[in-house]
Chain A
Amino acid sequence: MEETRVCPCKAMGESRREFCAAIAALGLGAAAVVPGAVAAFSGGFDPIMRGSAAGETPEFNLGALSSLPEDGTPVKKAIIADKQDGWTKYSNVPVGAVWLRREGDKVSAFNVLCPHNGCFIAFDPDGKQFKCPCHNAFFQLDGKQNGSSISPRDMDSLDVEVRDGNVFVKFQNFKFGCEEKIAQA
């Protein structure tokens, strides 16, 4: 092909008049796009623009101390609270769960979510240890990592208090995959 191509920059026009028209066309076109773009942007990025309400860590009553076995066998208990699922509001449904472990009058509580990647940690009664079924992370009954583990830290312990014979747990989730225990906002 022998024909010389127009330099792409020349599309903006060769005279001052043409240049102004091109600039005006670009400006007007952009202005016309703005409202739709703003709406699309804010709708599309809505999930990250919502600030999550940070507040005090809520405390939950997980029932009578006497309902827990004294020999230190872990018991899984649900955290019952209100939940927002999309546009639906559910009242009093499980929003999380904890492993409770009683030795005498001492109770320890762990979030069931694996610090590695948030799978639900299971209790392995044969091996007397906790096991995360997704990537085989093992934890001792006191929540410490058992041997080499894919998890970057021990199980997330939670503040627990026994008052009037009932077990109260301050429930929160922590960030996954990092060595420090950082509370999720």
Chain B
Amino acid sequence: MEELKTINTDDKSKEPCAFCKKIMPFWNWLESRFGLLTCMDNYCKQTYSKGWSCLRVLSSTIAFAVFVQVMTGFVMWLSYSANAGSAWESVFNIQNNVTLGWLLRGIHHFSAQVLVAACLIYIIKMILVGAYKIPREVIFWLAIFMFFFALGACLTGDLLRWDQNSLAATQVRTKYLLLLPFIGEPLYKLALGGEAFSTLTLTRFLALHIGVFGGGFIVLLFLHGWVWYRSADQDKLGDVPVCPCEACKPDAPKVKFRPGQCLRNAIGWTIFMAIVLGLVFHFGQVKPGVPAEPGLQYGAELGSPASTNPMDAFEAARPEWSFRGLYEYTLRLQGVPEFVLIYCITGTIAFLFFIMPFTGRVKILHAFNVCLTLGLLAVTVWLTYSSYARDAKDESYLAAWEQDETEALRVSALIKEKGGIHPNGALFMVKNDWVLQGPKIYSAQCASCHNLTDAEGKGVVCQTPSAPNLYKYGTRDWIAGWLDSKTIKSDAYFGKTKFVNGTMVKEIVKMEDEINKLLNSAKEDDKEEGQDMVNAKNLIIDVLTAEANLTAPRKVVDGVPEGVPEGFKEAFSVTLSCANCHQFYGMFKPKTAAVDLTGYASFAWTKDLTANVGDAKFYGAENDRMPCYGPEGVLTAKEIEMVSKWLKEAASK
């Protein structure tokens, strides 16, 4: 057995110190079982013909980034659930409930992005300084593989948060597998765990992310380190490029690698982490300036929960930044078959890179390699930039993003409000939330006839409005409009319906003519009567406005509803003959049936009308074109409730 003292016998200065001498048996044990001291000694004594270099920090920084990924990734794995019904929910929990979970996610996400960039820079650096040629071919190939594995880890990791964007974008990119002849479809099915995205896709992507791409990257890193260590005597590898920085220029031709390089490496790591933290605090789930909980504000993006329902299409699916160049390139070269673009051309470029260690030995081909690398880099940067620039001007893209952001914020607010996520999942909460579903149902069902636009035409715009404008529905101004001959005939009320020639419009015109006649009459009695009619009209508007604001129906005592002003009965039935057609809490005996005004435009009334406008207490057989949403099975009771509630709330704003 080799004893410690036999090591370094030729070097007196390396005599063990007093402390080490005391624990000599321990050192000897380490040496005999692991050969650790010899290894350390070799490591510490490594020399380089050209010494330290700032350029050499890259590989060590990549190793550091992987360490960070393993550490943060493992802890997230502890709380992650790879199931379509709970993946988003578990990520939400990490982001919002786990102590500093947002930092954990943020560091993992952005370290991955910087790691991809670091691998790319590492490859470019090797080519630029000529360090890719034989005998460094294996190191170069390993660097290329590391880059691909980092991309693979990003592609698989992206889906795991299971929000609308990650699902939609992954659905697009996995379909590119289908372009491959013969193996395309089997590969696609293998990746997805079936023919469509499901829970099995998540379980597989998690396994691929950790087991194949994460684990594979670590294996590559060790291989890289091993091959690099074996070539430790860099003289064997010929010229090692010198960093242009002054501090890196050694005085002696052979310089001890450590600890000078270690310090540079540590600086590299610190810069890496500073960039990551900068990104964590710069980007966030919420746009800068939008007030939100601190945890929500920072770190990796988390949009609204993913829905595989084809009716909930997310219209802003885009690849991650590292694939934006490729995305833009396929868009710009429309007409060329995509198989050629995605597999043949990029495959050829990848092949050119793989053979670089051989071609690079010829001087002119080395120049070609450098030009190819720089050219590709420039083109990619330009394509990436122009892709982002185009999206920044694309209104439908921006609107889809904003919609998703609104949903994400709303669902977090809901979860906070309820104190947790519903057992059926966050998507269930989204689907049953009137704030989110109300406008969607309105746009899909109501907005084909009803405008919901203010005087400037802003709001939910209907292309060809043919029914009353529901802007400020149930407010005093809106109700007053029904009792005005000009407005009721306008397109914002009955103008485009068959009721424009109906009894109501005729009666209102008649009433207004009479009021005008009386008010302009010379007789005091007539004037007084006219004023009575105006007062009665205003009283009815007041009462109906109060009805619209009711949250529960009035109590009826002895045939009289509570809280209705005394003069109402006379105004409604005698002064103005509304009661000839309209009912109100069963107080009157209308001769012909028109809309029952009991609880008029209140939430409950609106809901009942939306459910079945053909009911006798609404338009009955006189109904113009509005569908009976409940009986016809177009909307569920819950959907009717949500759109009614939203319409009422929208009006009150």
Contact = CB atoms under 8 A, between A and B. Distances in A.
Interface in B162-213: 168, 171-172, 175-176, 178-179, 185-186, 189-190, 192-195, 198-200, 203
B193 A119 contact: no
Contact of B400 (A94, A113, A133, A148): A133
A119 B192 contact: no
B190 A48 contact: yes
A175 interface: yes
Contact of A175 (B178, B194, B464): B178
Contact of A134 (B200, B317, B334, B339): B317
B267 to A, nearest CB: 39
Contacts of A45: 190
Contact of B335 (A97, A148, A184): A148
Interface string A59-91: 000011001010101001011000011111000
A4 interface: no
Interface residues of A, number: 47
A69 B462 CA distance: 13
Given A48-B190, A76-B311, A135 B178 contact: no
Contact of A48 (B178, B186, B310, B627): B186
B315 to A, nearest CB: 4
Nearest to B318: A134
A112 interface: yes
Given A47-B194, A175-B178, A177-B178, A122 B313 contact: yes
Contacts of B397: 133
B339 to A, nearest CB: 8
A31 interface: no
B172 A94 contact: no
A148 B172 CA distance: 20
B330 interface: yes
A150 interface: yes
Contacts of A148: 334-335
B330 A150 contact: yes
Interface string A101-118: 000000000001100011
Contact of B338 (A124, A133, A177): A177
Given A48-B186, A67-B634, A150-B331, A133 B396 contact: yes
A67 B627 contact: yes
Contact of B331 (A88, A136, A176): A136
Contacts of B627: 67
A63 B445 CA distance: 14
Contact of B198 (A63, A85, A184): A85
Interface string B42-75: 0000000000000000000000000000000000
Interface in A133-159: 133-136, 148-150, 152
A74 to B, nearest CB: 12
Contacts of B453: none
Contacts of A117: 172, 175-176
A145 to B, nearest CB: 11
Interface residues of B, number: 45
Contacts of B311: 76, 78, 94, 97
Contacts of A113: 310
Contacts of A63: 634
Contacts of B331: 135-136, 150
Contacts of B338: 150, 177
Given A48-B190, A119-B317, A133-B317, A177 B463 contact: no
B316 interface: yes
Interface string B416-453: 00000000000000000000000000000000100000
Contact of B396 (A47, A93, A124): A124
Given A88-B199, A133-B396, A93 B334 contact: no
B448 A176 contact: no
Given A47-B193, A52-B195, A177 B310 contact: no
Given A48-B189, A133-B400, A149-B334, A118 B172 contact: yes
A177 B634 contact: no
A135 B342 CA distance: 15
B273 interface: no
B492 interface: no
B151 interface: no
A113 B185 CA distance: 18
5 contacts: A63-B634, A67-B634, A112-B313, A133-B316, A133-B397
